[in-house]
Structure 1
Amino acid sequence: MGFNITSEITEGVAKLTLAGSLDSSSASMMQAEIQKVAAQSPTALVLYVSQLEFMSSAGLRMLIFAKQKLGTTVQIYIVQPQGQIVDTLQMTGIIHSVHIVDNYPA
């Protein structure tokens, strides 16, 4: 299972679309995208993850990295996550640091 990520910034909102499997072999790709968008000081980070099939602990670390890199004032939205990803976010407590939404803007 591969991984694909695309990003864009529109009106100060960083939008990343993730697909496939976010694990230790692909986390560096996400880290690079986060660093790229963080340099433009976005007001929010929106992760479109409806096509993300798997997220390992390395993916969770990337969410924590994004929160640290962007700062506490930047809200992170996770759009249309699959059930197993929501379960992982709940079990680790990260769900309290992000917003799970069906659509953005919420």
Structure 2
Amino acid sequence: MAFIITSEISEGIAKLTLSGSLDSSSASLMQVEIQKVATQAPSALVLYISELEFMSSAGLRMLIFAKQKLGTSVQIYIVQPQGQIVDTLQMTGIIHSVHIVDNYPAQ
């Protein structure tokens, strides 16, 4: 499945919706969106990824890039990740740098 990413900033919150496969061929698209939202100095980054079917190591690098680009004070929320993506985040330890949530804002 092709990778699709959309972004918006609302009330200082950057929201990216990802679907398809985030791999080495599509990571550059995410990098561009992260750079774009970083110019707005958001207070949080919310990744809606319920439709993201696959994330390779290139996708993990984009999470690290986002954390570095936005700064340590910006919290990253990952909304409704599929099980295999959560497993990957746990195995790599990146899960300790993000918040996994069912909804944003948490209800």
**TM-score interval, normalised by the smaller of the two chains:** over 0.9
Secondary structure class of the residue paired with 1:50: strand
RMSD: 0.3
Secondary structure class of the residue paired with 1:81: coil
Partner of 1:55: 55
**Residue 84 (structure 1) aligned with residue 84 (structure 2):** yes
Partner of 2:93: 93
**1:82 counterpart letter in structure 2:** Q
* Shift, 1:49, TM fit: 0.2
* Shift, 1:81, TM fit: 0.1
* Shift, 1:25, TM fit: 0.1
* Shift, 1:51, TM fit: 0.1
Distance 1:28 1:70 in 2: 17
TM-score (norm 2): 0.99
Q: Deviations over 1:25-67 (max 9, x none)?
A: 0000000000000000000000000000000000000000000
Q: Identity percentage over the alignment?
A: 88
